[in-house]
Amino acid sequence: MKTVFSGIQPTGKVHLGNLLGAINNWVSLSNEESKNYFCVVDLHSLTTHPDPSKMQENIQETIKVLVSSGINQKNSKIYIQSNVPEHVQLSWILSNFCQIGELQRMTQFKEKSDQLGSHAGILTYPILMAADILIHKANEVPVGDDQTQHLELTRNIVERFNNAYTEYFPLPEKTSGKAGARLMSLRHPDNKMSKSNDDLNGTIYFDDSKDEIIKKFKSSVTDSENEIKFDIENKKGISNLIDIYSTLHDMSHEDVEIKFKNSSYGEFKIEVGETVVSYLEPLREKYESLSDGDISSLIRDHLDDVKDSAKKTMDEVSAIVGV
Ligand code: AMP
Ligand code: TRP
């Protein structure tokens, strides 16, 4: 049976990019025959020096969204990274199989060290991510396109470790949805949609009201033509809207183009906005129905299994490396 692992940082409100690029895939995989671990990676988030007084609230909110999105909990464990210290222990062992040059070449390292200064946490971030994946010996990792490089690095680490000792870790594969793997900001379609976009109107947050969502889509940046055509090079804004619409209606880009052949940009923007509103509405209702107590007991219920799995791997790895 395959094992799936993925993670999300509790660094603010969950947005449409997280949902379409990653979490929706987690939901699909959770309905397959597999063992799944979905982790709120609070230790990773420390690289951006978040406000400690907001941390617990952000973790709770993130877990509530995961539950509301419909992850099947029969075969899925949801947990908080810092509750399982084996992630960090394994990370240290793996760091001996990773080159400093490789870490310096990571796009996210370059971007983040420009913003935050290059401390060692941003540099070694991908090794902790490799440890997250390998602590349960996962073979499948559903993530958005921005994580491709990190997954490649994890695979390199696995190959080196296995060559040095014994064929122990599986080679994990990245999985992405067919569309929506890289949603762009509605205001700056050259940049990906993110939790911390400078222009908040570029990001659709999980808890935006209907009016806010429609307003953000109406004011989304497109181009001066009036042709609804998927062209990622020359028409980034409209392509992003087509991507969102096609993902949520399970249609091809071509079918969306045909459907809106005679529509104006203004009409199309409202259609996409309304699609997103209808998609988020049931998720938000479920979210509102969950109490903090529900989340605390979920975490308690899931943690024993997670700890057993992590401890087993760590015991085996310790024996392999001789410590
Ligand atoms: P983060 O919010 O950076 O912790 O990301 C959590 C998950 O959402 C990861 O799998 C990311 O690849 C995915 N993700 C984040 N932003 C986007 C985006 N704009 N488009 C698609 N996927 C995204
Ligand atoms: N680096 C991922 C992000 O920024 C989050 C993450 C941490 C992750 N550990 C992971 C994703 C392990 C997949 C698997 O989005």
Q: Kindly report the CATH number assigned to the domain that includes residue 207.
A: 1.10.240.10
Pocket mutation for ligand 2, best pick of 90, 108, 124, 150 (most atoms within 8 Å of C-beta): 150
Number of domains in the chain: 2
Are 40 and 8 in contact by the 8 Å Cβ rule? The answer is yes
Query: Do 223 and 258 share a domain, yes or no?
Result: yes
Residues 273 and 303 in one domain: no
Q: Give residues with Cβ within 8 angstroms of 121, minimum separation 6.
A: 46, 47
CA distance 157 to 169: 10
- Paired sense of beta strands 140-142 and 76-80, if any: unpaired
> Would you say 311 and 90 are in contact if contact means Cβ atoms under 8 Å apart?
no
pLDDT at 218 over 80: yes
In a shared domain, residues 230 and 211? yes
Same domain, 214 and 124: no
273 within 8 A of 264, measured Cβ to Cβ: no
* Cβ–ligand 1 contact at 12 (below 6 Å): no
In a domain? residue 89 = yes
Question: Are residues 250 and 109 part of one domain?
Answer: no
User: How much of the chain exceeds pLDDT 70, in percent?
Assistant: 98
H helical segments located in the chain: 16-18, 24-30, 42-45, 52-68, 86-95, 100-104, 107-116, 120-134, 148-164, 210-218, 236-249, 253-259, 265-289, 292-321
Question: What is the rounded CA–CA span in Å between residue 184 and residue 236?
Answer: 8
Given 64, 112, 137, 236, the catalytic residue: 112
Give nearest CA residue, ligand 2 atom 15: 8
- Distance from the Cα of residue 229 to its chain's centroid: 28
Using CA positions, which residue lies closest to atom 5 of ligand 1? Answer: 8
Q: Which ligand is nearest to the CA of 81?
A: 2
pLDDT tens per residue, range 159-216: 999 999 999 999 999 998 766 678 999 999 999 998 876 678 999 999 999 999 999 9
Task: Round to whole Å and give the CA distance between 263 and 272.
Answer: 12
Q: What is the domain extent for residue 267?
A: 197-287
Q: Which ligand has its closest atom nearest to the C-alpha of 107?
A: 2
pLDDT at residue 133 is higher than 80: yes
pLDDT band (50, 70, 90) for residue 112: confident
Cα–Cα distance for residue pair 85/265, rounded to 1 Å: 51
**Are residues 124 and 263 both part of a single domain?**
no
Convert the pLDDT of each residue in 34-64 to its tens digit: 999 999 999 999 999 999 999 999 999 999 9
311 and 261, same domain (yes or no): no
Q: For 113-122, what is each residue's pLDDT tens digit? A: 888 788 999 9
The 10s digit of each residue's pLDDT in 155-170 is 999 999 999 999 999 9
DSSP character for 76? E
Of 71-75, 179-183, 310-314, minimum mean pLDDT range = 179-183
pLDDT band at residue 283 using 50, 70 and 90 as cut-offs: very high
Q: State how far the Cα of 164 lies from the Cα of 161, in Å rounded to an integer.
A: 5
CB count within 10 Å of CB 300 equals: 9
Assess whether 88 and 58 both reside in one domain.
yes
Mean pLDDT of the chain: 94
In a domain, 48, yes or no: yes
Q: Is 54 marked active-site?
A: no
Q: Does some domain include residue 181?
A: no
228 and 84 fall within a common domain? no
Residue 227 has pLDDT above 90, yes or no: yes
Question: How close is the Cα of 206 to the center of ligand 1, in Å?
Answer: 13
Q: Under DSSP, is residue 94 helix (H, G, I), strand (E, B) or coil?
A: helix
* Same domain, residue pair 274 and 211: yes
Task: Kindly report the CATH number assigned to the domain that includes residue 309.
Answer: 3.40.50.620
195 is catalytic: yes
Longest dimension (CA), the chain: 68
Asked if residue 180 belongs to a domain, the reply is no
Q: Do 269 and 217 contact (CB within 8 A), yes or no?
A: yes
Give me the amino acid identity at 202.
G
Domain co-membership, 34 together with 93: yes
- What value does the mean pLDDT take over residues 313-320? 98
Chain segment 1-34, per-residue pLDDT in tens: 999 999 999 988 899 999 999 999 999 999 999 9
Active-site entry in 64, 77, 174, 195: 195
Q: Is the CB of 143 inside a 6 Å radius of any atom of ligand 2?
A: yes
Mean pLDDT of 258-276: 97
How much is the average pLDDT of 265-293?
96
Q: How remote is the CA of residue 8 from the centroid of ligand 1, in Å?
A: 8
* Residue 35 designated active-site: no
For the CA of 185, the closest atom of ligand 1 is 19
Query: Which residues have CB under 8 Å from 205's CB, separation 6+?
Result: 13, 14, 15, 16
**Cα angle value 285/290/292 (rounded, 5°):** 145
- Residue 147 CB less than 6 A away from ligand 2: yes
Examine the domain organization and report whether 258 and 306 are in the same domain: no
Q: Is 14 in the pocket of ligand 1 (CB under 6 A)?
A: no
**For residues 273 and 226, which has the higher predicted lDDT (pLDDT)?**
273
The residue with greater pLDDT, 114 or 285, is 285
Over residues 134-147, the pLDDT tens digits come to 999 999 999 988 89
Task: Answer whether 7 contacts ligand 2 (Cβ < 6 A).
Answer: yes
